[in-house]
Amino acid sequence: MNEETGQVRPWRERLETGHLPVQEEWNSLVLNSQTLRAWEPDIIPGLFQTADYARCVFEGLAELMNTTRDTDDAVRARMMRQEWLHIPGKELHQLVWEGTLCARLGSPEVMAAQLDRILEVLDLDTVRLGVVPFDAVLPLAIGNGFTMLDERLVVTEDWHTEHWLDDPDAIALHRRVWETHAASAVYGADARSLIVKAIEALH
């Protein structure tokens, strides 16, 4: 894949007709993937989001980018993608920074429900969640978030552009970044305790 075929995708062009087409494309990408590895340092991952939290995300981005408002359709598409988590044999290896759990993209009620949702997701056989604590010693800077799909594609994004990377060197580099952050993360009961701590902080 090169720039001419869409490796570099400015958000203004991607969102010209709203968020729904982007969400539908992601649904197709995820549905056709067996294993996802993702690092998310600043927002609850889409596969974990509640409808109310997703609505806050889409509304904020639409306001920022001054794009078509199709929030309800985009939320429904994102919720549909979460069905992937219930397909036997699928694997999500998700890493988040502790700050992701504490950033309040929504009211305390929205955030409380969102964090409760993550606790529920932890019980799924398809999900392995690691949380990088605030006090972890980091071999690398936090950096930007990205998703790896079956070692064939990495999707990363910034405020201006979404990047699709299928170059083997780029994929290998992001896999090393993911593994480095994974080594700093906590799992199981320790991850759950950080989520509970974030819920308690809301009150």
How do residues 67-108 score in pLDDT, each as one tens digit? 888 999 999 999 999 999 999 999 999 999 999 999 999 999
* Angle ∠(103,91,59) on CA atoms, nearest 5: 35
- pLDDT given for residue 12 in this prediction: 81
What's the Cα-to-Cα distance from 48 to each of 7, 16, 41, 167, rounded to whole Å?
Answer: 26, 26, 14, 28
- pLDDT given for residue 48 in this prediction: 98
Mean pLDDT of 168-194: 97
Backbone phi and psi for residue 19, each to the nearest 5 degrees, phi listed first: -85, -20
Mean pLDDT of 13-28: 90
| C-alpha to C-alpha distance for 182 and 157, rounded to whole angstroms | 20
Q: Where in the chain are the domains?
A: 3-201
> CATH number of the domain at 3-201, please?
3.30.870.10
| C-alpha to C-alpha distance for 202 and 123, rounded to whole angstroms | 23
How do residues 105-160 score in pLDDT, each as one tens digit? 999 999 999 999 999 999 999 999 999 999 999 999 999 999 999 999 999 999 88
